[in-house]
Amino acid sequence: MKWPSSLSAFVTLATNDNYARGAMVLGTSLRNHKTSKKLVALIGPQVSESVLKGIFHEVRLVDVLDSGDTAHLAMMKRPDLGVTFTKLHCWTLTQYSKCVFMDADTMVLSNIDELFGREELSAAPDPGWPDCFNSGLFVFRPSMETHDKLLQYCTEHGSFDGGDQGVLNGFFGDWATADISKHLPFIYNLSSIAIYTYLPAFKQYGGNAKVVHFLGKTKPWCYTYDPKAKQITENVQEAATHSTFLLDWWNLYSSAVVPMLQEQFGEQPFHSGCVEGESHPTQASALESQLSSEERKQNWEQGQADYMGKDSFDNIRKKLDTFLK
């Protein structure tokens, strides 16, 4: 298809079904708020293209890139984020002149097409370290040259957090100081738990939020929801830390996305709960689980811990808790 070169698009990424659900909610929220831009989803081979095609104009299969940087990822307590290097593929979308990347765990609360008036690389501050930008939403210009330079940067410098945010903050290293017009207001990437970190500011400004980001380990799809009562039914206290945004996400998911999934798969899929347990273990993790504890200890000592499985942060913490008790 030949498209005009001035085309612009919102881009997201999903390498597995959980993030695909998030991507569908994001895409639906952009459409509900009448964006005039194209919607693009980058997907890994595990994700069904057809189901995303109902919402996105373009669904592109990409190679999953993994930083493999277990040490830095362990510091973030997010061993799963090595694959966020896959985000760097977004610079290859050169049929578009300008794009806004959005994490699959974001959702828009109003039309944000005005972001296309900004230049590369515009982004909002990271709530954990405001001199870094958060890479859950950023404005960029697709370019093979930039893409290649980014990959080169990864090879030479790696990522200080093991994920894309470390690379991008290194590469666009003058973001904090060079040009204030590239600092997006926080309301374009509001962390859903900002209510918990700075309540008075949340009360003052939270109502102006345009994009909510469910940043952190527990994603909306990890909760259980009763569509009839329109309520979260488990971990209610933790759910409350996300304010009403979590319910907004679930309302959208159950009213717009679930019917689409039902049509495709003819069942009652994904109505509630984190589906981690349902997905097929990768060959690697299946093998890991067969290792004896002595073999695991040896792997651990050689720096080859099973961060995604038995040696995950949660398991280590549980072990420590039992010792402490």
CA distance 84 to 90: 11
Taking CB within 5 to 8 Å according to partner kind, which of Mn ion, ligand UDP, ligand GLC, none is near residue 70?
none
CB-nearest residue to ligand GLC = 163
Contacting residue, 122, 134, 192, 254, with ligand GLC by CB under 6 A: 134
Contacting residue, 15, 135, 192, 243, with ligand GLC by CB under 6 A: 135
Two structure tokens written together for 305? 């811990």
Q: What is the DSSP string of 106-149?
A: EEESS--GGGGGS-SSEEEEPSS-TTSEEEEEEEE---HHHHHH
Residue 81 CB, nearest approach to ligand GLC (Å) = 5
Using a 10 angstrom Cβ sphere, with 0-12 exposed, 13-18 middle and 19 or more buried, the burial of residue 45 is: exposed
**Residue 107: partners with Cβ closer than 8 Å, 6 or more residues away:** 25, 26, 29, 211, 212, 214, 245, 248, 249, 252
The interface with ligand GLC within residues 96-125 (CB under 6 A) comprises: 103
Q: Pattern 191-230, binding to ligand UDP, x per CB under 6 A?
A: ------------------------xx--------------
Choices 28-36, 161-169, 217-225, 294-302 (CB under 6 A): range interacting with ligand GLC:
161-169
CA distance 129 to 165: 12
In the block, tokens 């009360």 appear at 203
Please tell me whether residue 13 binds ligand UDP under the rule CB under 6 A: yes
Residue 314 CB, nearest approach to Mn ion (Å) = 19
CA distance 118 to 36: 16
Which positions lie near ligand GLC, rule CB under 6 A? 81, 84, 103, 134-136, 161, 163-166, 215
Which positions lie near ligand UDP, rule CB under 6 A? 12-16, 19, 80-81, 83-84, 103-105, 136, 215-216
